[in-house]
Structures are given as structure tokens and as C-alpha cells.
Amino acid sequence: MSSKYTHYTEAQKEQARSTDIVDLLHRQGEKVKRAGSEYEWMDGYQKVTIRGNLWFHQYEQTGGNAVDFVQRFMGKSYPEAMEYLLGGTLGTLSTSPPIERKPPGPLELPKRNDNMRRAYAYLLTRRGIDKDVLNAFARKGMVYESADYHNAVFVGFDKNGTAKHATYRGTGSESTYRGNSPNSAPEYSFHWHGQSEKLFLFEAPIDMLSFISMHKEGWQQHSYASCCGVGDRVMFQMMKDNPNIKDIALCLDNDDGGKKATKRIQDKLTEMGIKHEVLVPIHKDWNEDLLLPDDGEPTEEQEDTPCQELRLS
């Protein structure tokens, strides 16, 4: 790559940013599927939605314009991306190798520690998770402590019992670390299969465990899933793997991101004719509800769904 500085006018920058991404992908021989007013392109297991010159990665919750797309998915620097996109001014994009489509590798799980003392101390004492609930997941190998950094690891398995997803949470007193294992498939993020028609959907594993801790009676008969974000792929995978599921409870966070995600998923379920309801934590999330007393007046939405009175059986 040349180190020579290239000046781009505002008009050139706008032209590059405004490149139609679907057309760009078609020129690369990529398959793109129409979905309503948008298009879908798969980045391995993960979906990227596209509208004109804009894209959004559903799992990573990031997006941008055409220049960002070329940088992110074609591995180009900013000058290279600009040169590539501005080559289209004469009707054809400048030459570029095809987008590399590597098949996803196996899930990389951290090595297990020989005990769970730190993970248990964190989840039971600091997070207030019920011991019987935590034990139920730990016995199935769905929660464990990593040997390297002593993180709490939450594992999602497919219907054949193969680990497909793992997300971490730091257990140190000052730690805010969280992340996913390489090659995690979002449709198999942390979940529990039950036999009833009910599925409860959460943002994070700790919220899911907190909710169950507050509503223990008969909890094992129902299904639960954590998005490990605000996506919906695990919800649809759970419905595919469990035909008994007919009723969805959306239990995302009581903040701007959670509300927007809830509305987006609600719209999909309504369009599909799937029965659903929204359960809203009193505080920001279900772990705060577990740890903190109710110190405020319920919102109008919370009055419609009084979670503290909910019975799961």
C-alpha cells in the first residue's frame, strides 16, 4: 500500500459512502436475500441487514455506510476502500479479490478450573442467584469457572448436546469484563429447554438466572433463553428445536436499548401471529430487581405487567 496521501473532496467522500451495498455484493458474486424493505447477507453464521448504502451486523450490534462495509468485510484500509468504491464512477468497481468466506471453526471454550469457588462466590453472593437454580445449570455443565482468569462461563448447547456458544463474565471485585468465545453461534446462546408452551427471553445470562431465582416454583418446566445482546436468533432457534413453545415472554432490560429491541421483536412476533407478552423489570434489569428493594413508583408499562405477582406454574 502506498504511503502517499490522497485528498478526497467532500463530494467524493459522499459518493463513496453512498455506494449501494447490495450492488457491490452482487458484483462480488455474493448471495443476498430480500427481507421486506431490507436485504440480508450472512457473515458466516451471523446476519447483516442492508438498506441502500447502510448495513447493520445483528450479532455485533454495529453498522455503518459503504466505506465502513468495505473496510470491515474486505479488510481494506480507508484509502483502499475509497479507491475501490470510487472506481465505480465509470460504471465498474475497481478490481478486488472476492470476499473471503471462511467456514466457522469449532467453538473455543476456555479450560475449566478444578473448582467453582470464585464463580459461585460471585454469582451467589454478589449477584444473589439462588443456589438451587445455579446448581441445576452447573450440573449440566452450562455454568463453570475458567481456569485462566476465573471468569464465570455460560455455555449454550445445540439439541445434540454439542457446545455452540459461550459467554463470559468477570468475577473480580472490580471487573466489568464480558465477552463471547470465538466462533460462538448466537442462535445457541445460553438457554434452558422446558416442556411447557412458555419461553422467557432475556438479554444476559445473569438476568435469566435472576428472574428464575425470583420465580422458582415450577421453573424447570418452562424454557428460557439469553440473547447475550438484543438479537432474536436464539428465540427462533428455541422455537425450532421445541415445537411445544407457543407463547413468548419478552423480558429485556428496562432501558432505551431494551425497549427498542422489545418493540422490534414484538413486531416480528405480531406479524407471525405468535402469542407473546412483555415483562418489564422494575429497575434497569432483573438482577437489580433481585438485589434491590422496590424503591420507586411503577411505570405505566410496569403496572400492566406486575412481574412480582407472576406465577410460573
Q: Do residue 124 and residue 225 come from a single domain?
A: yes
Q: Do residue 128 and residue 84 come from a single domain?
A: no
What's the predicted TM-score (pTM) here?
Answer: 0.68
Report if residue 220 sits inside a domain. yes
What CATH number corresponds to the domain at position 49?
Answer: 3.90.580.10
Examine the pLDDT at 123 and tell me if it is beyond 90. yes
C-alpha 153 chain-centroid distance: 16
Mean pLDDT for 112-117 is 96
Q: Which residues on adjacent β-strands are paired with residue 276?
A: 248
Report if residue 171 sits inside a domain. yes
Assess contact for 171 and 152: CB atoms under 8 A.
Answer: yes
**What residue has cell string 455474493?**
30
pLDDT the model gives residue 174: 78
Question: How many whole angstroms separate alpha carbon 52 and alpha carbon 66?
Answer: 9
Percent of the chain clearing pLDDT 70 (strictly above) = 84
pLDDT the model gives residue 59: 63
pLDDT the model gives residue 89: 45
Percent of the chain clearing pLDDT 90 (strictly above) = 58
Set of cell numbers at residue 196: 411447557
Does 124 or 29 have the greater pLDDT score?
124
pLDDT the model gives residue 229: 79
Examine the fold and report which residue of 90, 109, 125 is the final residue of a domain before the chain moves on: 90
Q: Do residue 127 and residue 268 come from a single domain?
A: yes
Q: Do residue 143 and residue 192 come from a single domain?
A: yes
C-alpha 32 chain-centroid distance: 22
What does the chain come to in residues?
A: 313
By mean pLDDT, which of 100-104, 107-111, 292-296 is the weakest?
A: 100-104
Q: What are phi and psi of 62, to 5 degrees?
A: -130, 160
Set of cell numbers at residue 235: 428465540
Q: Which domain holds residue 291?
A: 117-309
Q: Do residue 81 and residue 174 come from a single domain?
A: no
Mean pLDDT for 5-19 is 87
Label residue 299 by pLDDT band (50, 70, 90): very low
| Tens of pLDDT, residues 129-167 | 999 999 999 999 999 999 999 999 999 999 999 999 999
Label residue 304 by pLDDT band (50, 70, 90): very low
Count of the separate structural domains present in the chain: 2
pLDDT the model gives residue 298: 41
| Tens of pLDDT, residues 199-244 | 999 999 999 999 999 999 999 999 999 998 778 989 999 999 999 9
Round the average pLDDT of the chain to a whole number and report it.
Answer: 85
Q: Angle at the Cα of 242 (from 226 to 217), degrees rounded to 5?
A: 65
Residue environment code for 99-136, b if the CB has 16+ CB neighbours within 10 A, otherwise e = beeeeeeebebbeebeebebbbebbeeebbbbeebbeb
Report if residue 110 sits inside a domain. no
Assess contact for 131 and 143: CB atoms under 8 A.
Answer: no
Examine the pLDDT at 260 and tell me if it is beyond 50. yes
Q: Do residue 263 and residue 122 come from a single domain?
A: yes
Q: What 3-state DSSP class applies to 40?
A: strand
Q: Do residue 64 and residue 133 come from a single domain?
A: no
| Tens of pLDDT, residues 31-87 | 899 888 889 888 765 678 999 999 988 766 678 999 999 988 888 888 888 988 987
What CATH number corresponds to the domain at position 243?
Answer: 3.40.1360.10
